């Protein structure tokens, strides 16, 4: 486990700011406890400092996870967001998309969202913005990237893709083995 280098911090913050924008400072400067970001086996963990100190006492090979895993760095040092970060990022989401009940299941299986499944979308969403995907009952389902801006999606035909799938809560069951390394 080690703190992130400058390049790694930049990659993580860029990704997070696509989804939560300026609220990134709220994640870092918290009132209750000092939270920190740590890198362990290519995964970025977000944990309060006392938890991190305790986790530092575990052997590297035997430490599975601590705090919340925000995402992982790939072999070519790109940062991918994981669904385990949903609880922390959903309240601060800048752009949201609500899915119709018929499209929920498709999204939870890992497919992209078509116009036919689009319930609501935050207005003035630019194209390729980071989205947090909700169901109609305001349950966060996962992360996505806007394939079309709000205006474009209004004029799109029903089979066109509106949101690219990035992570969903169905992964807790589908990718159980790989989600925690």
Task: Enumerate binding residues for other proteins (CB under 8 A).
Answer: 1-6, 9-10, 13-14, 17, 22, 24-25, 28, 34, 36, 38, 49, 52-53, 56, 123-124, 126, 150-151
Length in residues, the chain: 181
Separation of alpha carbons 147 and 82, rounded Å? 19
**How remote is the C-alpha of 15 from its chain's centroid?**
9
Largest CA distance in the chain: 56
Angle at Cα 95 formed by Cα 92 and Cα 98, nearest 5°? Answer: 105
Q: Return phi, psi of residue 101, to 5°.
A: -55, -30
For residue 119, the 8-state DSSP code is E
Q: Would you call 102 exposed, middle or buried from its count of C-beta atoms within 10 A (0-12, 13-18, 19+)?
A: exposed
Nearer to other proteins, 11 or 179 (CB): 11
Which residue's CB is nearer to other proteins, number 38 or number 148?
38
Compute the least distance from the CB of residue 6 to other proteins, in Å: 5
Shortest distance, position 56 Cβ to other proteins, whole Å:
6
CB of 66 to other proteins, least distance (A): 12
Closer to other proteins at the Cβ: 28 or 136?
28
**Which pairing describes strands 161-168 and 79-81: parallel, antiparallel, or unpaired?**
unpaired
User: What's the closest the beta carbon of residue 17 comes to other proteins, in angstroms?
Assistant: 6
C-beta of 16 vs 83, nearer to other proteins? 16
Specify whether the CB–CB gap between 9 and 37 falls below 8 A: yes
Find the shortest distance in angstroms from Cβ 174 to other proteins.
33
* Residue 145 or 169 with smaller CB distance to other proteins: 145
């Amino acid at each position: 486990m080690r703190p992130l280098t400058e390049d790694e911090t930049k990659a993580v913050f860029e990704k997070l700011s696509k989804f939560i924008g300026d609220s990134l400072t709220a994640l870092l400067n918290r009132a209750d406890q000092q939270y920190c970001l740590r890198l362990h086996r290519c995964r970025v963990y977000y944990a309060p400092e006392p938890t991190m100190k305790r986790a530092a006492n575990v052997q590297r090979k035997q430490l599975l996870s601590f705090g919340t895993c925000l995402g992982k760095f790939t072999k070519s040092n790109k940062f991918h967001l994981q669904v385990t970060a949903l609880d922390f990022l959903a309240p601060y989401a800048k752009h949201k998309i609500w899915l119709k009940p018929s499209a929920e299941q498709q999204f939870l299986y890992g497919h992209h969202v078509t116009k036919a499944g689009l319930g609501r979308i935050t207005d003035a969403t630019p194209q390729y913005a980071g989205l947090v995907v909700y169901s109609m009952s305001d349950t966060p389902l996962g992360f996505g990237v806007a394939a079309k801006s709000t205006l474009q999606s209004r004029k799109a035909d029903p089979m066109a893709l509106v949101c690219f799938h990035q992570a969903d809560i169905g992964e807790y069951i589908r990718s159980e083995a790989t989600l925690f390394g």
